[in-house]
Amino acid sequence: MVPDSYLRDTKTGAETKLTKNTDFAPDVTQAIRKRILVERPRDAYKFYVDITLPKDYRAGTRLPGIIWFYPTEFTTQAEYDQRRRTTNINRFAAVAPRSPEIWVTQGYVVIQPLDIPIVGPQGRMNDHYVDELREDLDLVIDAVDKAGYLDRDRLGIGGHSYGAFSTVNAMTHTPYFKAGIAGDGMYNRTLTPYSFQNERRDFWEAEQTYLNMSPFLYADRLSGALLMYHSLEDQNVGTDPISSIRMMQALQGQGKIASLYMYPYEDHGPATRESDLDQWARWIAWFDVYVKNATKKETVIP
């Protein structure tokens, strides 16, 4: 139900409706929502995956898919569970201008692994970041495929900021994705030498971890077509626009399918109506070509 405000008389119990809000995006808010619990066989770690299907979805239909994600570091299962304990699965779906669930209007199944976990000892969670990322994505794709929702031959991936960074890591270390969208990301960790995200060691303390986590250094292994965007006035110290520019140059030099567009007067994430509309036009066109209408040819990392 669309949220509204009510006035209740505590003495009589009489209730008066004060507002009459309208659902302006029923194709998204009324979409079909599922939640799957995934367990990693290696360590029995459990995490949730939210799945959103078009509201007119017919059972048994396999759709092109989009994974939109943002990994998070944990040391224990309890830490993950604590972050999820306040989730209200019954609340009315909020639709922001860049909500990934908008993709259902284009016929995709939207796959959102909730805080996809990077797990390790305190202070060293990222030592196996690439392996953890690959393992988690394996399980997510298999789970949604097994549920019968996904055409895994037509799968894209995307994310913003740390999600963008992880998107490019996914595309350089796995062969699953026909295309990706990465926004306001950092792709060379030597440019953030004094820690990043939940990593508290500096570059000189954990040099190999910084290098292993830098998809810039693996640009020659990118599989799929990568669409990047970056705000020219990005003030986030960990995502200087130079990162996207240099990543684009590296991909061009390697002959990869890639594009970069940059928004003037925008900070860490486009906020104006004009930018949002331009962004969606580019996203939809890119995935129409490289995901929805992708050939069935297998992609292999050299």
Average pLDDT over every residue of 17-32: 94
Per-residue pLDDT tens over the stretch 28-49: 999 999 999 999 999 999 999 9
What confidence category does residue 301 fall into, taking pLDDT thresholds of 50, 70 and 90?
A: very low
- Per the domain annotation, does 227 fall within a domain? yes
Mean pLDDT over each residue of the chain, to the nearest integer? 94
Per-residue pLDDT tens over the stretch 178-217: 999 999 999 999 999 999 999 999 999 999 999 999 999 9
What pLDDT shows up at residue 302? 38
- The string of DSSP letters for 124-165 reads -GGGGHHHHHHHHHHHHHHHHHHTT-EEEEEEEEEEETHHHH
What confidence category does residue 177 fall into, taking pLDDT thresholds of 50, 70 and 90?
A: very high
For the chain, what is the domain count? 1
Q: Identify the CA nearest to 35 among candidates 100, 115, 111.
A: 111
- Per the domain annotation, does 10 fall within a domain? no
- Per the domain annotation, does 6 fall within a domain? no
What pLDDT shows up at residue 89? 73
Distant-in-sequence, close-in-space partners of 274: CB < 8 Å, separation ≥ 6:
none
- Per the domain annotation, does 18 fall within a domain? no
CATH number at residue 233: 3.40.50.1820
Domain extent for 220? 26-292
At 281 the three-state DSSP class reads: helix
At 104 the three-state DSSP class reads: helix
- Per the domain annotation, does 299 fall within a domain? no
- Per the domain annotation, does 16 fall within a domain? no
Average pLDDT over every residue of 243-253: 98
Q: Identify the CA nearest to 154 among candidates 57, 282, 65.
A: 65
What pLDDT shows up at residue 86? 77
- Per the domain annotation, does 298 fall within a domain? no
What pLDDT shows up at residue 296? 52
